A and B are shown apart, each in its own frame.
Chain A
Amino acid sequence: MDKNNLIINLEEISFIYPGGAPVLNQLGLQLHRGERLGLVGPNGSGKTTLFQIIMGLLRPSSGRIEILGRTVAREKDFREVRKRIGLLFQDADDQLFSPTVLEDVAFGPLNLGKSKDEAREISMRTLEMLGLAGFEDRITHNLSGGEKKLLSLATVLAMEPEALLLDEPSNGLDDNTKEKLIEVLSGLDLSYILITHEADFLAKTVDRICRMENGKILTDIESYPHYHLHEHARGRYPHEHH
């Protein structure tokens, strides 16, 4: 693919936690513009660490990180990266630190230098897009798990990023919230990398799947149709699905 279309380009990234075994081992990964990439792999295979390295929250022991055509290495470079790539954390309680919903969504835009009125307007628009209109004055810790997850996504989207890193977004969500999340993700004109353990969710949200094991990206596996167990009323009688 065209090199100008590369959003994220990782080359030979290694990472070792102090006093631990290597988590990432000469890893390479590319995300192109418009691409929706799924990342699967066993627990502890370094998927979350990889996201933290892309955002500059952890520094690799060796390797090269190129984001939107520029090599990034220092804190100053990563500050620019964080404006253009949004990270959705696994636990919404980590992501939502403001007392009220509006403040949380407006936090990013305000840090990007938007005026208070602009930030408020962007926040209201983002909340509405995620079906959270009317939530702006709610107290964050009183929200349900699903609402918190959608709100986390709102705080990231309000910064109008060019790409997203989604760390197990469907974890612990009920079916309705999951559907809503799938609907929002398919409606976005954004490239993203998505970590999940749920094959169903993956099939509906990504075009390409990478598997990570032992600190490396193994091979590209095409998304594939599959059978799975499910349950519903009167499911024990023979029936057909449409």
Chain B
Amino acid sequence: MIQEPFATGSSHIHCLDPRLKILFATAYSFIVALSNRFPALFAALMLSLLLIGLARLNVWKVAKRVALVNGLILFLWLVLPLTFEGTPLFHLGPLSVTREGVLLCARISLKSNAILLIFIAFVSTMPITTLGHAMNRLRLPGKLIHLLLLTYRYVFVIDQEYQRLVRAAKIRGFRPKTTINTYRTYAYLMGMLFVRASARAERVHHAMVCRGFDGRFYCLRHFSPTRTDWIWSAFMISIILGLLSLEWTRII
């Protein structure tokens, strides 16, 4: 269901304090998203790639994830240069490709890839439970965190229930086709899934109430920064300052 192919590893980045990784990835993403100058954007993409390298992740798996997002960006390349107003670069029949449109697409592509890669390098390199714990320690709203953790806990259970329903349909000879009967069957399956999920939610709530749940969750994990974490934070701060100066001081 949810695979976490990057969550475990022994690279420096895997061993960093998760709170530090979340903070850095978030700050970095904001800066990249708000930057507009190409030197800053190119530098960000290079840095993201460098950090992916340092996390020693499986290149093929990273490429597959990145390709998924770039599929969406491809659509922007097909539409934006033709529809964005500005100085025409060249004409395609009745349509004209504008310089501003192309630049906008280039910015979007650079930004989204840099941000995606930094999240792969820094956030997907920890298990989701650790992510939840670190968010808790960073004092993010408890409701959000427990929404994340409970979803993570039950998405597998609900998937199993779905698989059971599909198997039950299959052993009675159901084969998906483009017919109204197929659509109806899938609608039944989904409906059944919702019914079961809501019944399960009620039972889980009962279980929580039985153990004295009063709306509060507790986190038992402790994180303590090591010397390496401090060294890395200095490195991260210099990355952030570097990007900021590329964007706003116009050194290049």
Contacts and interface: CB of A to CB of B under 8 A. Distances in A.
Interface in A71-124: 79, 82-83, 86-87, 89, 91, 93-100, 102-103, 106-108, 110-112, 116, 119-120
A198 to B, nearest CB: 22
Determine the main DSSP class of A at the interface with B: helix
B157 A93 contact: yes
Interface in A1-28: none
8 contacts: A89-B203, A97-B207, A106-B220, A107-B213, A108-B212, A116-B218, A119-B218, A141-B156
Interface string B182-215: 0000000000000000001001101111111110
B81 interface: no
B208 A79 contact: no
A82 B212 contact: yes
A102 B220 contact: yes
Interface residues of A, number: 35
A141 B132 CA distance: 16
B209 A159 contact: no
B129 interface: yes
A52 interface: yes
Contacts, number: 76
Given A91-B203, A94-B200, A102-B220, A111 B156 contact: no
A55 interface: yes
Given A94-B200, A98-B153, A99-B153, A82 B209 contact: yes
A120 B220 CA distance: 8
Contact of A141 (B153, B204, B211): B153
A215 B157 CA distance: 32
B128 interface: yes
Interface of A: 52, 55, 57, 79, 82-83, 86-87, 89, 91, 93-100, 102-103, 106-108, 110-112, 116, 119-120, 139-141, 155-156, 159
A106 B218 contact: yes
A116 B132 CA distance: 18
A82 B153 contact: no
B127 A87 contact: no
B207 A89 contact: yes
Given A82-B209, A86-B210, A94-B204, 8 more contacts: A57-B206, A82-B212, A83-B212, A94-B203, A99-B129, A100-B129, A155-B211, A156-B211
B152 interface: yes
Interface string B118-144: 000000000111001000000000000
Contacts of B216: 111
Given A99-B128, A99-B129, A103-B220, A55 B210 contact: yes
B49 interface: no
B104 interface: no
A89 B213 CA distance: 16
B157 A141 contact: yes
Interface of B: 127-129, 132, 149-150, 152-154, 156-157, 200, 203-204, 206-214, 216, 218-220
Contacts of A107: 208, 211, 213, 218
A99 B218 contact: no
A140 B155 CA distance: 13
A52 B153 CA distance: 24
B49 to A, nearest CB: 31
B163 to A, nearest CB: 14
Nearest to A152: B207
Contacts of B210: 55, 57, 82, 86-87
A108 B144 CA distance: 21
A94 B207 contact: yes
A108 B211 contact: yes
B207 A139 contact: no
B132 A99 contact: yes
Q: Which 3 A-B pairs have the closest CB atoms?
A: A111-B212, A108-B211, A99-B129
A134 to B, nearest CB: 16
B146 to A, nearest CB: 10
A52 B204 contact: no
A44 B128 CA distance: 39
